[in-house]
Every structure is written in C-alpha cells, then in structure tokens.
Chains A and B, each alone.
Chain A
Amino acid sequence: DAKTTQPPSMDCAEGRAANLPCNHSTISGNEYVYWYRQIHSQGPQYIIHGLKNNETNEMASLIITEDRKSSTLILPHATLRDTAVYYCIVPSYNAGNMLTFGGGTRLMVKP
C-alpha cells in the first residue's frame, strides 16, 4: 500500500467540525483513498473513499488535495459517538487492492 501518515490522536469539541489529516505522498494515479473508523470493540466501519474529486456522504466529507498527496476527512458536527480510531488507507492496485491498516488517529470527542 502507499504509505499513509496520520497523527496518533486528536481531540474535538462536541458539535464542532473534526478535521482529520492524512498524508499519502507516494500514492499512484489509480489508487483510491479510503477512510474507515473503529469504535471500541467493534469491527472497522467504512466511511468514505475518493480518487481525485472531493466526496461527501451522510457521514463525512473527504477533501483530496490537487496533487493527491494528502487528504482530510471532515466530520462536520462531531458527536460523542464519533469517538473512535480513524484509519486512512490507500490500497495498492498492484497488491490486489488489499486493505492494510496502519495506526490510525484516535479521535476523542469531548463534551
């Protein structure tokens, strides 16, 4: 996989936007950026993915820089239930698009 770098932890106030950064400077042109999260004791949950354009769904927005070397996941109005570990993943096309997880960012949403 293209190596991704995320801060190990972040805090966010409840109701505010949470902006989670990810660097993927070695990404190739045909590789997507995926975001998953894992709430304690549960299986990872898909959030969003994108290739070049910004994406938005009911959970979050994904902003990808023009050079595709970094991206930001935005939770527009964080709630306590958004406390989780967030993983940014770039599956390698040459490796069969296997999902390999790094350390992720532990987001703590505080009242």
Chain B
Amino acid sequence: DAGVIQSPRHEVTEMGQEVTLRCKPISGHNSLFWYRQTMMRGLELLIYFNNNVPIDDSGMPEDRFSAKMPNASFSTLKIQPSEPRDSAVYFCASTMTVNTEAFFGQGTRLTVV
C-alpha cells in the first residue's frame, strides 16, 4: 500500500477563495482523522470519522470549515471562504481499528495570501 495519500502537497490561494484538500486513507482502515498544524497551536485534531461517519467535529474551528467522507477511500476538507489565518499544514491520518497505530500522510501546506 502507498500509505495515506494527500493532495495537493502545496496550495497557495487568495483570501476569499474556496480550498479543497483531499485524502485517500490506507485501504481497509476504518477511521480517518484531519489535523491542522501551526507553530502557534501545534497539532490540532479537527475532525474524526469512523466507518465514513463523522464522530467528533468539535475541533473544526468555524463554519467555514467542512469535511466529508463519501466513501471508505476518500475524504475532503473544504475551507470556504479561506482566510490568511488558515495558513497551516493539514494532515490526514487513518487507523485500522481502535488501539492500533495511526498512519499519517505527508500533509498539505496551505498558504492563504
């Protein structure tokens, strides 16, 4: 397996534009997590899916952020409209079951200018 795949690796966009980040978890994994990392706030858990269902989205900062998981092999994180303070590295991770290790993607570095 190629691991957790995120796209794009880098994204530069203008304030107010819509941004969509994509994640393909490892095949057979049942849980998927989206994280955001900044120097100021570290690694923050945004949302967690189990069997394609959002379980906890309490970390999603605002209504401008939304995440979907239409099937077991694909998830998106959308920001609309984007703001400069959304600039960060966004990571996706997947796990097979509870109490097993999480595998992280390489991240998407988002810059909003």
Contact = CB atoms under 8 A, between A and B. Distances in A.
B4, B33, B102, most chain A CB atoms within 10 A: B102
Given A98-B48, A101-B42, A43 B33 contact: no
Interface string A97-111: 111111110000000
Interface residues of B, number: 22
Nearest to A99: B102
A36 B35 CA distance: 15
B63 interface: no
Interface stretch (A9-17, A44-52, A60-68, A75-83): A44-52
Nearest to B47: A98
Given A95-B56, A96-B55, A99-B93, A44 B104 contact: yes
Interface of A: 32, 34, 36, 38, 42-46, 49, 87, 91, 95-104
